[in-house]
Structures are given as structure tokens and as C-alpha cells.
Amino acid sequence: MISKQITDKIAQFETPFYLYDIELLNRTLETVKSEADRYNYKVHYAIKANFEAKILQEVLKYGFGVDCVSGNEVKVAIEAGFPANSIVFAGVGKSDKEITYALEQGIFAFNCESSHELEIINELAAKIGVVANVALRINPDVDPKTHKHISTGHADSKFGIAYKEIEDVAARLDSLTSVKITGLHFHIGSQILDLTVFENLCDRVNVLVKWFIDAGYNLNHVNLGGGLGINYANPEGETIPNFVEYFSIFNTKLEIPSDMDVHFELGRSIVGQCGELISKVLYNKVTGGGKNFVIIDASMTELLRPALYSAHHAIENLSGGDGSKVYTIAGTVCESSDIFERDIELPTLNRGDLISLKSAGAYGSAMASRYNLHDLPISVYSDEI
């Protein structure tokens, strides 16, 4: 990744920090755009993956909309220059304040997660005299075959309207005069590498779209969410995810009227590989059990994914190192789960060595916290140094 090519340049920055390869980000965005354009698909960038202003400026250039899950995300997207009518707003717990704010902005659609929420959107829209555009987020009960903490599309998850509740919800729609159902929304999970999962999703979507159309609803779009995974194990081998296959699956499998638009909400696949967390080795120690621990100056406060999902981020010693050893790489925080990797063989690590934790552009800085009163990590962009 880029850290290896510009190690001398980045050595001046105080660690830990995020490093972004802006050229790779742009190549990724170009690929998404050209592959999506092939089928006239609309892409919303899932801002939750990374909301840094500089990253948003790059995404903005490609004409994508934004997928938001909070009022603040809607606000940041609008302030970054994204048109309100390109914004979708999902989330199981939208507050009245957030809904009202988004209604006032005139967003493209609320991705509505329950019949109760639908009633509240209706009420709040009536109060300010507007009609809310709503896509019903349906839980399709499709197994995304990914980590359980990032699975959303199975029947008992908190997300979406249950498959079996659809008829009841539809029956109540006529009485909700301040909402207009414009589409259906699905998002089954994240970091999906088995793409046959998306074929299963299409099978469900086809049935549901047909059901709504037969029932007389005039849907103008279907939103298939995000979820395309990235190669954490070998980032150099696949810097740009397989958008070609991803979009072509939907093109082959979706059977919906040709006048319906197809939308996606991609996060990780767009920004994941362009970011690295750069850290320094602080200490070496050997545990009573004989394990070689290396303590680095980053922790779960900068990159939570390993502690939260047992996620693996490839690690490289940018300072070289003679020979190799088996190490456990630990962060600084007072939590036993603050471990980046256990028992991996790496070139010898010594105090002061610069190391890279790769594939950290998505859900990295966005999930950083100030636990233990750590400073939030700064970001360094390759085209600014």
C-alpha cells in the first residue's frame, strides 16, 4: 500500500494517524462509477464508513448520493455539498428531531424500518405540511454469510420490516396520507465476500417488487443497500473490490420493471482499501507464558474493528526488520481485547519501528473514540504531503 512507497515522507507525523491514498480512492470511485453507469444504477455513498471532509470532497466529484443513518450524517452530507435529493436516510431509531430536519431538507427517501416509524414519519410530515418520500426497508431474511455483528438481513435482527408483516403494513398505507411509498429498501449485511448471497437477495426482491406492483403501488426505485466486502487478508492483491461482478449479478438476477431505478449504498468497498492506520512500536515484552508481545502506540480507540469483531487487518513493518518472530500485537488501552493480532509471524519489530495496519479506510476513523482520554487520530492525505 502507499505507506511503503512514502515511508520517509510520513515519518514526520506524530503517530498514530490515518494515511489515505487519494489516488487509489479516485481509481476506486472511477471503477464504481463506470460499472454502475453501465446499468444506469444509482450509488449512494454510505457516509458512516468514513465521514472525513476530504474523503467526502473526493466522493462528491463522482455525482453519487449519500446514505445516512442519523440527522448529523444528513447535515454533514448537505454541508459537504451533496444535494438533499440524493440522500437516503435509514436507521431503526430516527428521532423526531432527525426526521423533521430531514423532511425540511427534502431528502430523496426515508428508508423506513418499522410500521411504527412509518406512523411517526406520517405524523411529523403532516405537522409541517409536507409529504414524505418513503422506501420500506424490508428484512428479506437472507443469510449474508458474514460476521454476526454486521449481519442485518436475518429474520430476528432489529433491522427492517418483517417479511410476514408486509401485508399488514400495506393495508395501513392508505390511511397515512403524508407519506408516499416510492420504493423498497434492503440491506442484508456488510463485508460480504460470497457474492451468491446477493443472488439470493435478488430472488427475494423480485418477489416483493412484484407483490407491491400487483397490489397497485407505484414504486419508482428499489435500493439494494451495500455490503460488498474487501480483501483484508491480501489488500495488495485486490486494491479495488470486484465491482464488475457485483453489479453484473444484479443486472442478471433482478427481474423488475425497466422503469424502476436501482440504487445501492456502498461504504466499505469504496473507502476501505485507501486507508491505513500508521503506528509506532513502543515496547517489546515477553509474557509469563513466553509470548512475544509488541505494544504499539495505536489501540482500539483508533481502530476498534479487531476488538469488536475479531477483525484482521494486515500488518506491515515499514521500517524493515531483520529476521522474523512470532508476535502478538497489542494496543495501549486498558482492555484485554485491545489486541490487533495474535501469534503472527512478522519481520522483527523494535521500538520506534513504523507499522501499517492496512485496509482501515472504512469504519476506522469513523469509529474512533476518546476512551482513556486518547486524542482522536489525525489524518494525512497522500496528495497533500
Q: Within 335-364, which residues bind ligand LLP (CB under 6 A)?
A: 362-363
Contact between 190 and ligand LLP by CB under 6 A: the answer reads yes
Pairwise CA distance, residues 137 & 134, whole Å: 9
**Minimum distance from residue 375 beta carbon to ligand LLP (Å):** 21
Contacts of 107 (CB under 8 A, 6+ apart): 74, 84, 85, 87, 88, 89, 133
Nearest residue to ligand LLP, scored by beta-carbon proximity: 226
Q: Which is nearer to ligand LLP, 48 or 204 (CB)?
A: 48
**Binding range to ligand LLP, per CB under 6 A, among 93-101, 212-220, 263-271, 276-284:** 263-271
Size of the site for ligand LLP (CB under 6 A): 22
63 phi-psi bin (left φ>0, alpha ψ -120 to 50, beta other): left
**Binding range to ligand LLP, per CB under 6 A, among 56-64, 168-176, 262-270, 278-286:** 262-270
CA distances from 91 to 141, 146, 151, 210 (A): 18, 20, 14, 25
Contact between 266 and ligand LLP by CB under 6 A: the answer reads yes
Contact between 87 and ligand LLP by CB under 6 A: the answer reads no
In a 10 Å sphere around its CB, with 0-12 CB exposed, 13-18 middle and 19+ buried, how is residue 141 labelled? middle
Of 10, 19, 25, 90, the residue at the interface with ligand LLP (CB under 6 A) is: 90
**Minimum distance from residue 185 beta carbon to ligand LLP (Å):** 8
The answer to whether the beta carbons of residues 51 and 68 sit under 8 Å apart is no
Interaction mask 143-162, ligand LLP, x per CB under 6 A:
-------x------------
Pairing of strands 87-89, 292-296: unpaired
Q: Which is nearer to ligand LLP, 16 or 160 (CB)?
A: 160
Of 265, 276, 297, 338, the residue at the interface with ligand LLP (CB under 6 A) is: 265
Contact between 227 and ligand LLP by CB under 6 A: the answer reads yes
Cis? peptide before 306, omega within 30° of 0: no
Of 10, 43, 46, 138, the residue at the interface with ligand LLP (CB under 6 A) is: 46
Pairwise CA distance, residues 180 & 106, whole Å: 13
Q: Which is nearer to ligand LLP, 98 or 353 (CB)?
A: 98
Interaction mask 64-83, ligand LLP, x per CB under 6 A:
---x----------------
Q: Which residues pair with 67 in a beta bridge?
A: 46, 88
**Minimum distance from residue 362 beta carbon to ligand LLP (Å):** 6
Contact between 139 and ligand LLP by CB under 6 A: the answer reads no
Contact between 267 and ligand LLP by CB under 6 A: the answer reads yes
Candidates 65, 138, 132; CA nearest to 98 is 132
List the grid coordinates of 167: 401485508
Candidates 322, 317, 329, 333; CA nearest to 374 is 333
**Binding range to ligand LLP, per CB under 6 A, among 75-83, 160-168, 221-229, 328-336:** 221-229
The number of CA neighbours under 13 Å toward the Cβ of 38 is 16
Pairwise CA distance, residues 304 & 99, whole Å: 29
Q: Which residue has the cell 457516509?
A: 47
Q: Which residues pair with 89 in a beta bridge?
A: 68, 110
Point out which residues bind ligand LLP (CB under 6 A).
Answer: 46, 48-49, 67, 90, 150, 187, 190-191, 225-228, 265-269, 305, 309, 362-363
